[in-house]
Structures are given as structure tokens and as C-alpha cells.
Amino acid sequence: MLDHPGVWTGNELLDKFVVEFGDLSVAEVRDRLENGNGALLIRGFPLQDLEKDAAREAFLNWCETIGTPVSQSVTGQKVFDVQDAGLPPDDPGNRGPNTAKKLSFHTDRCDVIAFFCWKQALSGGENEIVSSMHLYNEIKRRRPDLLSILEQTFPYKRHTVDGGNDQAFCEQPIFSFCEGHFACSFLRVLIDRAHADPTLPNLSEIQIEALDFLETVAGEDGQAIRFLQKPGDILLVNNWTTLHRRTAFVDHPSEDEKRCLFRIWLSMPDSRPLVPEFKDNFGAVGAGEIRGGMRAIT
């Protein structure tokens, strides 16, 4: 079993999770994310009546003190606006963050993901995070046979918006260890797309069972912490030690009041080493190397 500050359940994390802006130094923020519980909700970023574009820029500038922002699109976009774009479900440019639907537990293609709340929804849109280290322990305790499956590689189809990637798919594990460092990486939608593509490797029945069991455990009452970001709140999560998702939401009718979060993908200077299977997807696997994001088309 893993014994680490990152092993927690939702009921245990709340008091350790929320801090006020300015309470922690940059070094302390990095340490909490990499060596502690892997998540922080920082209240009270000084908006000072900033307009939207200025707030986005101020958030980017602050994130650049924590790590290195990496591209989230083929255009090299460093800040991604998480809001309902109203695109039809079959639009190739559609991404989960640009819908109002409930998202499943997942990780993103970066070391740390940072969210800044600009506007809340009319209702819903709550964040949930769960310790992937805790999930590892739970699956090892309940179904060790499935844990061994989750330590094997799974195919991931290239995302529809990842046009700078010349690989049709990659293969990487859900749970892994490198030089004693734990890592969890999981995006079910791209695994399912690979399985549905007749030109790519199919999942076995036991692989599907293992993925289903992981999602079942993560969704059980008490495993995750649920909270609502308020305007000015910053959420930071280590993608290697936590999974996150969002509940469905109902938006405001006014365009100016619609739910909007700014998202930044960060490569961290104190990041952990990864097993070689992640190199195709992340570009680098060495501790502290710049990695993650999407390759921009220039």
C-alpha cells in the first residue's frame, strides 16, 4: 500500500486544501503539489476590478512564477477559456471543457493544471477531485487482479483538436512507478475512441472491466471532495496524483455572466520522473523536464 500525503479521501482533505492568496510562497505551493496532497484551492486572487482580458493575463503571469505554461492547442494557446461554446456534439472542434455537461474523472496532458474562476454558473458546475494514490490503494485492496491490468499500457487515440501530433495513437499505463515515484494518468474518452477505431488496438474484456472499476471506485460517496470555485479562486491539481471532474451546469442567459474559468497547463520544475511509455504523449519523461501540452503548428 502507498503511504504518502497524497493518499486521502474527500472528508480528510478539506482543512488542508483551502488557503488564502499570499499565505504560501511559490516554493511552498510547489512542495504541496508535488510532495503533499497534490491539490490547493487558493482563495482571493486580487482582481482589483480588472476586466476579463486583464484578469486572464494576470493569472497567466502568476502561473509563470509557479511553472512553465505549455500549449493547449495547435495555435500555441497558453490560456484556455473553459466555457460552454454551444457546439453540436459531433463537431470535431468540440472539447469537454467547452460544454455544459458532466465530465468524468480524468487527468490532463501536463504536470499541474491551474483553473481560475472568472464567472460562476447559474447553478451547478462544481469541481470534484480525488486522490489517485488512494484509488490505487483501494483497487489493490479490493481487486488486485485489476490493478495489475491498470499497470499495463492502454491505447489513446489522438485528440481531434491535436492537429500538430503526427501519431494516430500512443500507449501508456494508468498507474505506474518510476524510481519510486507514483504516477497516474487517465483520460477514458481517448481510450474509448481508440477502442472504437477499427485501425487501432482493441481493449480486452478485462481491460474494460478494470477501467470501469476504477471509475466506479472514484465515483463512490466519500472518495472525492466536491466544492464550488468562486470568482477569484485558483484551483491547482497535480495530474500525477489526482483525478478531477466537473458536474453539469446551467448557465446564465446573459453572455457577460456565463460561466467561465481560465485554464493553464503547467510543466513543473520539480516534477517527478516518468516511465518511458509517456514520452510519446508528453514529449519528455525526465524529472523537471519541460513536457506536456499540444504541439503548435507554426
**pLDDT reading at 284 higher than 90:** yes
Q: Please, which residues have CB within 8 angstroms of residue 161's CB and are 6 or more apart in sequence?
A: 73, 74, 92, 93, 95, 294
For 165-273, list the strands marked E by DSSP: 169-173, 175-178, 181-184, 225-227, 234-238, 242-246, 249-250, 260-267
**pLDDT reading at 35 higher than 80:** yes
Domain boundaries, given as residue ranges, for the chain: 10-282
Q: Residue 88's pLDDT is what?
A: 63
Q: What percent of the chain has pLDDT over 90?
A: 86
Q: What percent of the chain has pLDDT over 70?
A: 97
Residue 92: band (very low, low, confident or very high) from pLDDT cuts 50, 70, 90: low
Does domain 10-282 sit in CATH 3.60.130.10?
yes
Q: Residue 20's pLDDT is what?
A: 96
Angle at which helices 26-35 and 52-66 cross, to 10°:
70
Distance CA 90, CA 268 (A): 34
Question: Which triple of cell numbers denotes residue 128?
Answer: 470534484
